[in-house]
Amino acid sequence: MSAVLSLAWKSLMNRKGSVILTLVAVALSVALFLGVDKARTGAREGFGNTISGTDLIVGAPTGSVNLLLYSVFRMGNATAEVSWPTYQKIADRPDVAWTVPISLGDSHRGFRVLGTTNDYFVHYKYGRRQPLKLAEGAEFSDLFDAVIGADVARELGYEIGTPLVLSHGLGAASLGAGHENRPFRVVGILAPTGTPVDRTVHVSLEAITAIHVGWETGAKNPLADTINEKMIRSFDLTPKTITAFFVGLERKGTILTTRRAINTNKGEPLMAIIPGEALAELWSVTAFAERALMAVSVFVIAVGLVSILTSILTSLNERRREMSILRAVGARPGHIFSLLVLEAGLVGFLGAVVGILLIHAILLVAGPMVEARYGVSLAGTGPGLTDLYTLLAVTLASLLIGMVPAWAAFRRSLADGLSVKV
């Protein structure tokens, strides 16, 4: 077999030009397939890493995916709010260890604003239960303090002490509809997390109430500007409603009963979701698109493999003489068969290896850019089992596909005998 393998190798080297073209086709198809797969895994991991250590997320009844999306990923909007007394009732439950209320709805130059308490910095965890860390400055202590995510600071060039004005709603720069009269000040900048926290401006819950004084109808009351900061500070700024809250339990074992208790809350209807469960539900929604994408890239690999088949089949005629010579010096039909199968296998194997190297080189270069732009981390997708399995599958498939020309050559070598036709 090793004799035939070395023959196959030399034969390929002799046809370098066309072999390299075939190899490139296979390599590109493998790189595309792995690229799609890695983007998919990267996105999943990125999403999965966004929240950890939180047992339940509670909000007004809506779809569980929707609640997860707006509370954790800052995507979409809440359709209803949770009243402060109801929140406090849940927070006071004996099986609840901690809660972090959040209030959404405002923005700053395209970044979402999250009203919360300093508990957020204690209990919100991401990745492998990593807490948020301040790169600079401190948590909020004054009413108009803001703690900004790493991306906000970087993209807007903000530093500690930079003043900022929030806008009502999510418009990038809704002049006139803003909270210009209530400027904030950056007091803290968070270290990068690779989660939506990086793109969030955090302020206190009271500040959210404060800037909405005079906005009780949903639009700005012309008299709002007559209320000065001193007056506001004297108001009771306890929020009337919040958007949602995160819950940590005393004991994990009670998670299902606690959830049921919250979901069947008497009075104001509530909905509690388990983050992991909601994520799984989200994946079941995206799975269809993912499968379609994977199917397309599998077909691209198939096209790459067919190009192996074509290149070998077209070379068979001109190699008829070579086969006769090999037969004459004692090669059995099996040798001819395995020669062609091995040629196909070698091209498939090398193509897959080049494709794997290619995609990793691309990830190395483009990974940081993708992460910066889309928040999808591809860094954790170094060479892994998927690459190995892909390599094996492509090699195996090319060996199988090589059997087609091998069979043709095998039949022909039996019929041709020793008579070498010119």
Give the residues lining the site for other proteins (CB under 8 A): 3, 7, 10-11, 13-15, 321-322, 325-335, 417-420, 422
Identify whether the C-beta of residue 107 lies closer than 8 Å to the C-beta of residue 286.
no
Residue 165: name the closest of 215, 120, 207 by CA: 207
What is the bridge-based pairing of β-strands 134-137 and 244-249? unpaired
Distance of closest approach, residue 321 Cβ to other proteins, in angstroms: 6
* Residues pairing with 185 in the sheet: 145, 163
Q: Which residue, chain included where needed, has tokens 């500007």?
A: 225
**Closer by beta carbon to other proteins, 4 or else 211:** 4
Residue 306: name the closest of 31, 21, 22 by CA: 22
In one letter, which amino acid is 121?
F
Distance of closest approach, residue 312 Cβ to other proteins, in angstroms: 14
Distance of closest approach, residue 419 Cβ to other proteins, in angstroms: 5
In one letter, which amino acid is 72?
V
Distance of closest approach, residue 416 Cβ to other proteins, in angstroms: 8
**Closer by beta carbon to other proteins, 228 or else 419:** 419
**What backbone phi and psi angles, to 5 degrees, belong to 88?**
-65, -35
What is the bridge-based pairing of β-strands 134-137 and 184-190? antiparallel
**Closer by beta carbon to other proteins, 182 or else 319:** 319
Distance of closest approach, residue 329 Cβ to other proteins, in angstroms: 4
In one letter, which amino acid is 173?
A
**Closer by beta carbon to other proteins, 333 or else 380:** 333
**Closer by beta carbon to other proteins, 92 or else 318:** 318
CA distance 416 to 320: 9
Identify whether the C-beta of residue 369 lies closer than 8 Å to the C-beta of residue 415.
no
* H/E segment holding residue 190: strand 184-190
CA distance 223 to 227: 7
CA distance 333 to 335: 5
Distance of closest approach, residue 40 Cβ to other proteins, in angstroms: 42
**Closer by beta carbon to other proteins, 14 or else 79:** 14
**Closer by beta carbon to other proteins, 23 or else 301:** 23
Distance of closest approach, residue 52 Cβ to other proteins, in angstroms: 58
Identify whether the C-beta of residue 210 lies closer than 8 Å to the C-beta of residue 232.
yes
**Closer by beta carbon to other proteins, 141 or else 314:** 314
The answer for 247, left when phi > 0, alpha when psi is -120 to 50, beta otherwise, is: beta
Distance of closest approach, residue 3 Cβ to other proteins, in angstroms: 4
Distance of closest approach, residue 2 Cβ to other proteins, in angstroms: 9
**Closer by beta carbon to other proteins, 45 or else 322:** 322
Contacts of 332 (CB under 8 A, 6+ apart): none
CA distance 341 to 51: 50
Q: Pull the structure tokens for residue 147.
A: 């703690």
DSSP conformation letters of 145-161: EEEE-HHHHHHHT--TT
CA distance 335 to 232: 91
**Closer by beta carbon to other proteins, 7 or else 358:** 7
Q: Pull the structure tokens for residue 31.
A: 């790189």
Distance of closest approach, residue 9 Cβ to other proteins, in angstroms: 9
